[in-house]
Amino acid sequence: MTRMRRWLPGLLLVAPSIAAIAVFVYGMLGWNFRLAMTDQHDEVSEGKFVGLENFTGIWDQPRWSISVNHAIVFTVVFVGGALLLGWLLAFLMEKGLRGEGTFRAIYLFPMAISFVATGVVWRWLMNSGTGERAVGLNRLFDVVGLEFLQWRWFRDQDWGMAAMAIPAIWQMSGYVMALFLAGFRGVPEELREAARVDGCTEWKVYRHIVLPMLRPVTLSALIILGHISLKAFDLIVAVSGKQIITDVPAVFMWVAVFDSHDPAKGATIAAYIVIAVSVFVIPYLVWSLRKERRS
């Protein structure tokens, strides 16, 4: 009883938040899955339970397969690109240099701006016009004599989504740099020194001491970039709107809800996005909490 008097006030203080998370996160995720299993394909119908019919049926729609393919290309290019560039920047800055703060601030500032605002300028930069009508980067290529680099950017049939990943890389690689820089700096200098005394070359020190210690940071970065990528929406809408040429599940869902007025279809797409994110976020959360408890 006295013990309970000790912790009860705490529980009461957090209770509103617990209730809010229970309803708005878990309740609504459940509600969404429930809706995805009905035939409520317009806003007035009753919504009969149809099981997994929507989940299997959606694969027959060409637009869905296209958007899934796009999401995969976008994710691979974006996650790979941001990880590599962020790592490179951190690697180059790791040993310290004059004006480091300024460099860091410049690489990181895109994080503070909305994708919608940066979408405006990237749509201009990646304008698909070539030759006389070229603006943006195509015009720049023309000016410096690299015309052969001109292409249709995000309007390219096959690799448009790779172009779409460029602004995302620009926006997020500073963040990855900051993560890696913290990782690099977390490697104790004595450890490196000890390896050097033992006759290791710089490369070997990096390969066998630093790199293994960067693994947790790399995993964090991978998870963060991955889940941002799978729900990518703002940037794509800002750069190209709802065109099929750059469709991804998140945009398709928006179209399903507001243009097709099909709640069940929207809920199905949303459920797929949730599943895709959960598959790697849940193991990650379990892993990092276990690690925290151990230390």
Partner 1 sequence: MTAVADAREERAPSRDRGERAVRRARWARGVRLVVLTVFVVVFLTPVYVLLVTSFKPLTEADPSRAWALPEIWTFQPWRVAWEKLAPGIWNSVLLAVPGSLISAALGSMNGYVLSKWRFPGADVVFTLFLFGMFIPYQGVMIPLVQLLSGLNELTGLDGVFYGGIPGLVLAHVVYGIPICTLIFRNYYVTIPGEVIEAARVDGAGMLRTYRSVVLPVSGPAFAVVIIWQFTALWNDFLFAVFLTGPRSWPTTVMLNNIAGAQTVPYSQQMAAALLASIPTMVVYVLLGRFFMRGLMAGALKG
Q: How far is the CB of 180 from partner 1 (least distance, A)?
A: 11
Q: How far is the CB of 268 from partner 1 (least distance, A)?
A: 10
What is the total count of residues that contact partner 1 (CB under 8 A)?
Answer: 95
Q: How far is the CB of 20 from partner 1 (least distance, A)?
A: 5
Q: Which residue, among 101, 105, 136, 106, has the nearest Cα to 121 in the 3D structure?
A: 136
268 Cβ contact partners less than 8 Å away, ≥ 6 residues apart: 36, 54, 55, 58
Stretch that binds partner 1, among 44-52, 54-62, 88-96, 190-198 (CB under 8 A): 88-96
Say how far apart CA 279 and CA 75 lie, in whole Å.
15
Q: How far is the CB of 136 from partner 1 (least distance, A)?
A: 7
* Shorter beta-carbon distance to partner 1: residue 158 or 259: 259
* Shorter beta-carbon distance to partner 1: residue 61 or 278: 278
Decide if residue 72 touches partner 1 (CB under 8 A): no
Instruction: Tell me which H or E stretch contains 90.
Output: helix 62-93
Q: How far is the CB of 76 from partner 1 (least distance, A)?
A: 18
CB atoms within 10 A of CB 254: 15
Q: Which tokens in the block code for residue 154?
A: 């995000």
Residues 232-261 that bind partner 1 (CB under 8 A): 233-234, 237-238, 241, 249-250, 253-254, 257
* Shorter beta-carbon distance to partner 1: residue 50 or 281: 281
Q: How far is the CB of 109 from partner 1 (least distance, A)?
A: 6
Binding mask 9-48 for partner 1 (x = CB under 8 A): xxx-xx-xxx-xx--xxxxxx-xx--x-------------
Q: Which tokens in the block code for residue 272?
A: 């797929």
Instruction: Give residue 265's region: left, alpha or beta (phi > 0; psi -120 to 50).
Output: alpha
Say how far apart CA 106 and CA 108 lie, in whole Å.
5
- Amino acid, res. 266: G
CB atoms within 10 A of CB 32: 16
Task: Determine contact, residues 217/175, Cβ cutoff 8 Å.
Answer: no
Q: How far is the CB of 22 from partner 1 (least distance, A)?
A: 8
* Shorter beta-carbon distance to partner 1: residue 32 or 158: 32
Residues 108-147 that bind partner 1 (CB under 8 A): 108-125, 129, 132-136, 139-140, 143
Decide if residue 52 touches partner 1 (CB under 8 A): no
Decide if residue 92 touches partner 1 (CB under 8 A): yes
CB atoms within 10 A of CB 123: 18
